[in-house]
Structure 1
């Protein structure tokens, strides 16, 4: 008998599709074909929600519920627990239970596991204990690590705005950079520390990098993975995540999860097939104010510290011994994290930190940057492309620091500056939506690793390539002490050519598209005479006749809009500012919040084939929303047509006519508002509307291709101008 499901838990059509292991279209077909399909219990017409218990019962009766959706059936119940921390604690509790079972210990009651195995003490409610039991039971069939990773991944996707995660390719790159940059042999890494570990991504990368090499460590001790985070929930999740990653299904022996040094989890896991072993010590605590690992001296420090954290302890830490190179200004918390990382390095150790680009150039931090240069501690600065990690709109930097093996200084050596910021995804056509950029991780890895190897072979001052330069320290110790790589790595033809080739390829594709559209549109012979009997009708008239409905856009509540990294089901927000800036949504809302706002009437969310109209003269436009759903801000409206009376492409084409906007404007100026109800539409039969609509659709495609071609053409002109001005004209060109 399957365990009962809380009747208050609801799911969307997309979640039903995942549970059943089918596409969303299949679920829509089930709704149409089967009268017995459960009725919605909430949501909206465009995004209905259904009771999970009823859905499971129906799927089971229809024979459509199999093992594919087992974990998917579990997630809505975790999500229904409420806030972020409650969900996270329940997932961590399930992970702790699984870690104990993987280690060969009796499970024990859920509350006991939480108290003994995690960096905090809590008690679970009856509903949470039941859910943990179900998760553990499911994991026994589908794998402990796989089940936990699934739940953790969904939790991170749900709370992507509040929790920044270092992408796995970047975490792996940081670990490899640390290995290439340090003194000593690769196998002698005994301790790795992450003082702001979050959910443990960098520590997992360290385990992958060094766990197989610990047999070469002279002390013979296992690799130690040490972490801490100010957020107890994230610290707990990191602990059990790394514990579970240390177990292999083929393990012959395994250690224990205990309360060493308080209530901290530990694992000594051995997998004979790959000779791995590590210990885990993750603690909750404020690293800068009260470091949970004050006596640690690590071989490697990997860290993605919090950005722009003004309340980091400036007053109470003014005399702290860690500030060897000066008290970090209140506005420079990243330099506090940098000096903290150095203070926790053993002689010969290496630290790799992910920092915002302003740390390399802000005037307030120049004295500390100069101190790091003079001491030889700062070995490299790598500029990454935008989109490498949150915040995705910023080209972040990697700072590589190394403590000399002798414990002294290494003054006089050069500093490696690597500029990989221009690595960009392939240009693409169509509407760009809010979300993360696609990074060419393979190219980024090759470029950074090949440059970092310069340090490994001897810091040849003056060494330069198309993408990096080893700059003498004395050249950097000027009035600004600006360490931004782009200021010191000259652009070379080789580095520019890759971007130019991509742009030329996309430009050529656009020219083909424009040529085809030109052939079609140029065949339109516009008559100078208005056809007899053809009149116009206003949007207001169509509204009164029931041919369409109109909804005005609304501004979301303060704090509701997210920016940067977006999950797959995020709903973009389009505002009048975005339209003025080119039409790309700059923010987004979680699907659940967009649906709830639409249900409450506080948000306007489009559906496919709705016509969006901008009600401001300076940005006037109308188009068919083919990328729905989209949340519309103020001064935008959504028009939904009755398809038996109106064609949406025809309506959008008529509405967007410049003469139409002038006629419907409230007064003749750029600040004029457009009265959408006064906009006029041709009065034509539906079949004739469709002919006009197809012409309008092709005209819209022509406009988009032309706009993108103009943008890429401008980039080509700028890039070629820079290259030619640098004297890179090939000899065989004429």
Structure 2
């Protein structure tokens, strides 16, 4: 490859072409996470340590594997933050990195070191983006530049302020802060930058980037999970900037109830979102401000997160929430929001408004699935925040609004901007959708608990009745108990078919006296879904005899003859329709529960099928049904049978409710998905 002229910064297209050429030998050899740190170290070495680079290239030119390894280890010693185990792994990777070093030497000759620096810096930045942002295992380290610029221009760190990133990734937020300062005025002292890195890889890359940028950043000598142990626990800052890995299950300690960071509530163990937000507030000086990137679900999640969000809002530390467009991140379509937090000074009153901005429609496509915010869009967002801070009228339909805290409290402290802005239809209103999801979830949990209770009741009833032993249901032939008699249905109850034409003249209403039809008979019960009603004043004369009473048995007459339901107290006084037969038992001889379950036996169903008319629609008349044979036990046995079978019906009904509630929750979650609000716990697609 012929050397290119690099006397001035190269364009992005040229850098891209060069980077792809340099990476050619490594592509497909191993995963980027196994070579990206030593590869970036080579670029850093070429730019920042020419003498060490000559030593390395001399060994590489002689194809001396041991010499190359030794040279790299000496480099590691020089770059004190580059651990020895980030030397060269494996022979194939060694050869590929040596080839990378050769091509790098051709592109950037040592005798032109000063001229090479700008181009090497741009190359380094491009490689960081390529090796981290486009890989799922590195995306949590990388904050896209347009997102970083938006956060910095909202917060606007000023001269000599202490700016801290508690989980700095590859350092984009601090690098952008340094650039923001240089753009404004290099004659005044720069902000004091510091950071902590969650992983060793993050520490190494962020340190190299800071040196490339010429930014003084105190980043610590070793990686640190500040949620577990904060080496700067007693230090406060004017500005906190952070894009923490909110979607990852980061370990943190929730056992210390006196941890001052959890002043708004102990965070959920499996979700660090509100641990990061509370940590940011805790690190601020009075009057300090923070910009923290969060997954959109932080604005509507319930449970402990919802309680913490409410407490933060009520204390006035949440100043603004800005929803950003989807697709800003390279390797994931996750939807994110910027939370602007501010710690009040002593005696300062709580602000009674929160600025909500919906920028989800902003951005332009720069790649097939990736968007970027333009400079004009970033300034529009930042200016809206500054107007809010200075007390200017802040409202723009569909884009932003200063929402009274009282209104947010009425909406369960939800912080989803779109739902508060005019023009958002109720169908796609995130606040409405989230409320429906919560209600559906609560309903499902409630009916699921009830179903578990009914499961235990069934187990007890089967065991208590002697039908179940320790080894399961009894399977041996059980003798017919003494005292059982053979009778017909008409001997123990009255059978009455529904009115034949009188109901046709009546009007149905949504309220009034219930009219039970076959569609309302399900699993031995009367269900209210789809029930018609008749005005009470319309029920006169002969219609009164067609009312139901508690303990009656109602069975279907046409279509599916014999399907029964026991009338419970809530349906006493209802009317039954033409296609039903009411059985009113003589309670001195038989219970309605027993009759219901007898009608459901295979013997009874088979008899009813044989004795129903065989027309296009099978039907059964009351006279025929009265002849149904019944094997009748003593009343105490009937009650015991009713108890056991009743628990089974209760269990069936409970699990039907679970199915319906689960389907309802699925539908509600589908609305979230359709509106782009669904996010997985690990923050991936």
| TM-score, normalised with respect to structure 1 | 0.46
